[in-house]
Structure formats: structure tokens, C-alpha cells
Amino acid sequence: MFVAFFLSPLAVLVGLSLHAEAAMQTWTIGNYTKFLADRFNLSILWDTLLLGVKATLVCLVFGYPIAWVSARADRPRWQSILLFIVILPIMTSVVVRTFAWIVILGRQGILNQIALGLNLTDEPVRLLFTEVGVVLVLAQVQMPLMVLPILTVMSRIDPNLLDASRALGAGEWRTLWRVTIPLSLPGVIAGCILTYAACVTAFVTQTLIGGARLIYMPLHIYSQAIGANNWPFAAALSVIFMLAVLAIVYALSLLATLSRTHVHA
Amino acid sequence: MITRPNRRQALVQGAALGLSSLLPHAAGAQSKTLVAATFPGTWNEAHRSLLLPAFMKRSGATATQSIILGADQISRLVAAKGGKPPFDVAFLDSPQVLDAAAQGLIVEYPAAQSPNYKDLLPEFQDKWGPRISMQIIGIGYNPKKIKTPPKSWDALWDPQYKGRVGLTALNSQLGIAFLAEINRLKGGTEDNFDPAFKALRELLPNVGAIGANLGAYATLWQQEQVDIAPYNFNFVQTLKGKDVPVELSIPDSGPVGWHTSMHIVAGAAEPELALSYIDTHLDPAVQAAMLKPPFDVIPTNSRVALEGAITQSIAKNHGDLANVRSIDWAKLNPKRGMLIEQFNRDIKL
């Protein structure tokens, strides 16, 4: 099953990327040299990978405290309410969530209406179709992928360790810094891997919030395949993009292994 | 007492249900089903509420209308080549018809067996399939912000609209048609698009947003993110119907447009039904009904007189429709990939 439904389409993709035309007649590595020789393509790949880093960091900065508060909530009821709020975004479609953000970020949107109402600005601020907008929306849309792994790891930390830290005279912050954060690192890294992979490939959010002027790899692949009908080049783009993301995910998982040995040492 | 099926009964019933869905025609040969492609939005609504009932009444068969954009229809037909195509009737814009015909995805239309075909205005007859409507582009603007309708494409370059101009990416016909018209007005030819790209680069300071696709483009208007932009007649009519502040002005250089047509797919499972479905779309009664709001579908049958919104700004009569400037897609199509790439390079932030 795995071979039939996962590996064979991948093999076709790689095969297509090594041909000059969609009918797969002449073998060539031209699609790859074309990509590597062109700064335009490389800048799109770089922008996309960087976008993922930014969105993942924002996600981590907001997501970690949420996970920490939920894990420490005294009553189970509070914990389940917080958990529900975290999971809520997954229950609606990405398209719906993204459209809601258009209403919030637009020139006539809620944020701009408030800013204008409070005389913070004379002109509506441009948020939609900017990279800042894309990063913010991606961070919100993918938040559950960050919070859930961290929360899982955190709630498995033995509470005695925290008590021991306090009994030995460490304050709340010191306990958080020296005990909770190192022990929750595997969850943080798992969350980062999931969020990163989801952010760089989020075609819907990137195109709806970013518009056509911010070109990231998914839109680039789409316009080569559907718009320009250049399937082999689109396939080559997909393969390169996949390898780049895999490399980053692999680096992150190496970090996870390191952090585990560090904690246990 | 409620009896609950045990696991074995449930399995048997489930399997029977699964098997029956594999045999859709076992129920009776008389209920044949045609699969026809349609576009999202207004087109889908017009086809479902007007074309489908007329077709069912005429043929006694039923049809599944599958919402797929023109470019996606081509890719799906290419993917299914040699096997059973995923739909029987293709619904395409002029440029894609050439692609589909060149790749052998559609068959020549048997006009002799199509009673309504001869009534089509001459410019809407085509050997690959009848043109059932046309799309016309002009300058879309927000009447709340812009009081006098702009009468020239140059208005987009006016410094007073800094940050207020919208554009759409070149993966839509609208984007390509706009680019081609600007190129013509700025002195370019089909072989030389430099004048258009030079003009576009000069336009960029005014451009507030570029929609990645037509759905995102409509949102720009709904959210009043832009005040002025190239747009087409039917999209404007649809948005106006939803109380979005948008009007279409046809510049003095004249309207530009392309045709939308229906085709029998090569290797179609139901070619006769496909013919009957397409001919139903040519029926004067169907076209007259589609011309009424909220659809405002421009008719192509000579027996349907123009009326309503179309006559106010674009065409008073059939002669005007024939005079709408078209684009030489045969020359432009091979350049499409290059144009998209150049456009993306020039606009990238």
C-alpha cells in the first residue's frame, strides 16, 4: 500500500522533473540547471524557507506560554477549556480561517477601523498583501500544531521535579528556565517541525493573504504547472522544494536527538 | 423493540452498499447521466438553475455539473488521455480551445445534428464547438471613491490613485487580456511585449494589491482594498448583485473580449447527450433567461435581442458584439509561459 500510493507518485514526479516535456520523451537535467542558474528561482526558495522560520518563531513565542499555562492549570476544567480554545482553529477549514483574516487585516478591516478610530493613524495601514500579514496569519492558523506537542510533553513532566526545584530554593522563573524548558525541548522541536512544514507549504494562506506579489514556492509551482503548462519544470521545483524542507526537518530532528541525550546526561 | 444489527449483519449490509455503488447503471439504463464541466460562481449557478432543467426536460437524462476551471479541465483531460475522460462536456475560454484542439482533447462539433447551431451569430460559430457567450473587460472602479467614470486605461497610471490600483496575476484570462490590450495601446506587437512590461513597471507604485486568482481578486473589491482595476463585465455584475460598490467603464479605446465555448470531449462516454446538452445552451429561450440578472450572460444566438446592463455600456445590438476587439490567441498562447515568468519577475517585491 505504502509503495503503491506514496512512493510511486513520488517516483513519477522525480521522473517527470528529469524530462524536457510532459510526454516524457527526452531525458534532461535542464530543469534543475535552469533553477540553479537563476537568481529569481533561488530567491523564491530562500524567501519561502525564511517565511517558515519567521512564522514558526512567532508561533513558538505565542504557543509556548499557552502550552505552559494549560499544562499548569490546577483544575482539569480550566485545562480542557484552554485545550478546546487551542484546538478550535483546526475545526474550521483553512480557507474559512484565512478569509476571516482578510476581513480583519483589510483596509476597511477591524484592525484598521480601530486604529483610525483611536486616531493612531490617518491612513489605513497596509497589512494585507505584506509579509508581516502572512507571518501573523500563518502563526495563528498553524498554532495548534505547535501547542499540542509541547503540551503533551509538558504534562508528562514529573511534578516532583518542579517541587524539588522549588524546595532547593529556585524561584518560578529559575524553575521554568532550568527544569521545564529543558525537559519540554523534545516537544518544542516536534512542534517546530510540524509548524515549519505546514507553514512553508500553506498555499491557500500564502496566496490569499500574500497576493501575487509575494511569490513563494507553492504559488511558483502552481503557476508553472497550471498557468504556464510547464509540468516538468513544476515537477523539478517540487522536488527541490521537498528536498530543502526535508533537509531542515532532518536538521531539527537531529537537534531533538541531541536535546534528549543532553537532558538524560 | 429496536433490533440492533450484529457485526456480521452490519458487514454484509455495508458490503452490499459498497457493491451497489460500483454498479450505478444496474438500476436502469434509461436514467443516463452526463458529466459536464462548469466554472465556479455565477456560471455554475446559471448552469444549475437554467441549463440543467431545460436539458433534463429535453433529453430525459440527467447531468452532473462538475466545477472545474478551464486550465484545470485541460490538465485533467491530458492526465486521462487514452482512458475514460472524467467529463463529457468541456467548458473553455478561447485560448484554451486552441490548446485542447491541438492536443486532441476535444472533437469537432457535429453542427448538422445541432438544430440551434445555425441561429448563432457568425462570429460565434466554430468547428470545435459553439461559443455560448463572451467575456468583456473594461475598467472596474469604486463609484464611492471615483465619481466620474474613467474613460481611458491611462487612468490607472494617474498619481492620485497611488496604492489604490488592483491587478490580477497572469494565470487568468483577465490578466492576459489586460496585458495584451495595454501592449497594443503602447505600441507593442504580438512578438514584442516590451512596451506592456515597461508600462507595468511604471504602474507598480500605484498598485496596491495583485490578486493571485480571480477569487482573491473579487475579495479585493469586497473589502474595498482597491478603487480601480481591470475587470470584466460578468464579475462586476455578480458583485453589484451583492451590493459591492463597483462599476465597469468601457474606455474610449473600446471593449476587449474573448469567447466562452462548449465542446464534446474526445472519447466521451455520452457523446449524444453531450451534443444535446450543448445544443440546449444555444436554445433562444435558455439564452434569453440567462441574459436576465443576476446572470447577465451575453447571448450568442441571433434570435435573442440584447437587453439590460449589457446594452448600457458595451453593446446595443448584435453588430456591436461583433466589433468587440479580440486577441490573437494562436500567436499569444505559445508565449504565455514566458509572459507569466516575466510578469512574476517584474512584480515580485
Q: Which amino acid is at A185?
A: L
- pLDDT for the residue numbered A244: 95
Confidence of residue B29 (pLDDT cuts 50, 70, 90): very low
B179 CA to chain A: closest CA distance, Å? 15
Cα–Cα separations (whole angstroms), residue A261 to A103, A158, A255, B157, B231: 47, 18, 10, 62, 60
Q: Is the pLDDT of residue B27 over 50?
A: no
The verdict on residue A223 lying in a domain is no
Is pLDDT above 70 for B5? no
- The domain that holds A209 is classified in CATH as 1.10.3720.10
Q: Do B169 and A106 touch (CB under 8 A)?
A: no
Look up the pTM and report it: 0.83
Residue B8 included in any domain: no
pLDDT in tens, B123-181: 999 999 999 999 999 999 999 999 999 999 999 999 999 999 999 988 888 999 999 99
Is some CB atom of chain B closer than 8 A to the CB atom of A228?
A: yes
Q: What is the pLDDT of residues A155-206, one digit of tens each?
A: 888 888 888 888 888 888 888 888 888 889 989 999 999 999 999 999 989 9
User: What pLDDT does residue B13 have?
Assistant: 56
Q: Do A227 and B99 lie within an 8 Å CB cutoff? A: no
Same domain? B40 vs B126: yes
pLDDT tens for each residue of B90-125: 999 999 999 999 999 999 999 999 999 999 999 999
Question: Tell me: the pLDDT tens digits for A211-233?
Answer: 888 999 999 998 888 777 788 99
- Claim to verify: residue B62 and residue B112 sit in the same structural domain: yes
In terms of domains, do B334 and B186 share one?
yes
> Is the Cα torsion angle B207, B209, B212, B213 positive or negative in sign?
negative
Give the Cα separation of B156 and B179 in Å (integer): 13
Residue A26 counted as domain residue:
no
Same domain (yes/no): B262, B155: no
CATH number at residue B62: 3.40.190.10
Angle between helices A143-155 and A39-72 (to 10 degrees): 40
Task: Write out pLDDT tens, residues B70-83.
Answer: 888 998 998 888 88
Band (B8; pLDDT cuts 50, 70, 90): low
Q: B168 vs A126: CB contact, 8 Å cut-off? A: no
Q: How confident is the model at residue B306 (pLDDT cuts 50, 70, 90)?
A: very high
Structural domain includes residue A169: yes
Residues whose CB is less than 8 angstroms from the CB of residue A155 and which lie 6 or more positions away in sequence, other chains included: A71
pLDDT at res. A164: 87
> Count of CB atoms within 10 A of residue A1's CB?
5
Residue B232 forms beta bridges with which residues? B137
In this complex, the residue of A102, A107, A219 whose CB is nearest that of residue B212 is: A219
Asked, for residue A155, whether it belongs to a domain, the answer is: yes
Mean pLDDT of chain B: 89
Q: What is the rounded CA–CA span in Å between residue B104 and residue B337?
A: 21
Is B142 a member of any domain?
Answer: yes
Same domain, B236 and B312: no
Specify if B28 maps to a domain: no
Question: Which has the higher per-residue pLDDT, B286 or A161?
Answer: B286
Contact between A236 and A17 under an 8 Å Cβ cutoff? The reply is yes
- Select from A226, A44, A45 the least CA-distant residue to B79: A226
- Number of Cβ within 10 Å of residue B168's Cβ equals 26
Over residues A117-150, the pLDDT tens digits come to 888 888 888 888 889 999 999 998 899 999 999 9
Q: Closest to B347 (Cβ–Cβ): which among A126, A212, A222? A: A212
Shortest CA gap B217–chain A (Å): 9
Residue B200 has pLDDT above 50, yes or no: yes
Candidates A215, A222, A229; nearest CB to B337: A229
Query: A40 vs B348: CB contact, 8 Å cut-off?
Result: yes
Check CB contact under 8 Å for A212 and B211. Answer: yes
- Please compute the mean of the pLDDT values over residues B327-342 and round it to a whole number: 89
Instruction: Respond yes or no on whether the N-terminal peptide bond of residue B5 is cis (omega within 30° of 0).
Output: no
Look at residue B28 in the predicted model and tell me its pLDDT. 43
pLDDT band at A97 (very low <50, low <70, confident <90, very high): confident
Query: Is residue B100 included in any domain, yes or no?
Result: yes
Domain extent at residue B102? 33-134+258-320
Quote the percentage of chain A above a pLDDT of 70.
98
Asked if the structure places residue B25 within a domain, the reply is: no
Report the pLDDT value the prediction gives residue A261, as an integer from 0 to 100.
Answer: 72
Judge whether A192 lies within some domain.
yes
Query: How far does A40 lie from chain B, in Å, by closest CA?
Result: 7
- Residues of chain B neighbouring A224 (CB-CB closer than 8 A): 337
Task: Examine the domain organization and report whether B128 and B265 are in the same domain.
Answer: yes
Average pLDDT of the residues of chain A: 88
For residue B22, pLDDT over 60 is answered with: no
Query: Contact at 8 Å (CB) between B235 and B295?
Result: no
Residues B84 and B188 in one domain: no
Q: What is the pLDDT of residue B16?
A: 52
Does residue A189 fall inside a structural domain?
A: yes
For A149, A163, A164, A179, the CA distances from A175, given in Å and listed in that order, are 21, 9, 10, 5
pLDDT, position A80: 85
A209 contact residues in B (CB cutoff 8 A): none
User: If DSSP codes are grouped into helix, strand and coil, which group holds residue B33?
Assistant: strand
Burial class (CB in 10 A: 0-12, 13-18, 19+), A157: middle
Residue B2 lies in a domain: no
Residue A217 buriedness (CB in 10 A; 0-12 / 13-18 / 19+): buried
* Domain total in chain A: 1
Both B161 and B93 in one domain: the answer is no
Domain limits for position A194: 36-216
Tell me: do B157 and B120 sit in the same domain.
Answer: no
Confidence of residue B10 (pLDDT cuts 50, 70, 90): low
Distances (CA, A) of B26 to B30, B33, B36: 10, 13, 22
- Same domain assignment for residues B206 and B337: yes
| Whether residues B222 and B304 fall in one domain | no
pLDDT average, residue stretch A14-28:
86
My answer on whether B168 and B251 are in the same domain is yes
Residue B38 has pLDDT above 50, yes or no: yes
Q: Distance from B92 to chain A by nearest Cα, in Å? A: 14
In this prediction, residue B1 carries a pLDDT of: 41
Contact residues on chain A for B169, CB-CB shorter than 8 A: 212, 223, 227
Per the model's pLDDT, the better-predicted residue between B39 and B24 turns out to be B39
Q: Are the C-beta atoms of residues A103 and A208 closer than 8 Å to each other?
A: no
- The reported pLDDT for the residue numbered B293 is 87
* Range in A74-78, B151-155, B328-332 with the lowest mean pLDDT: A74-78
Write the CB contacts of A230 (distance below 8 Å, at least 6 apart in sequence): A224, B337
Partner-chain contact A103 B223, CB within 8 Å: yes
Measure B285 CA to nearest chain A CA, in Å. Answer: 36
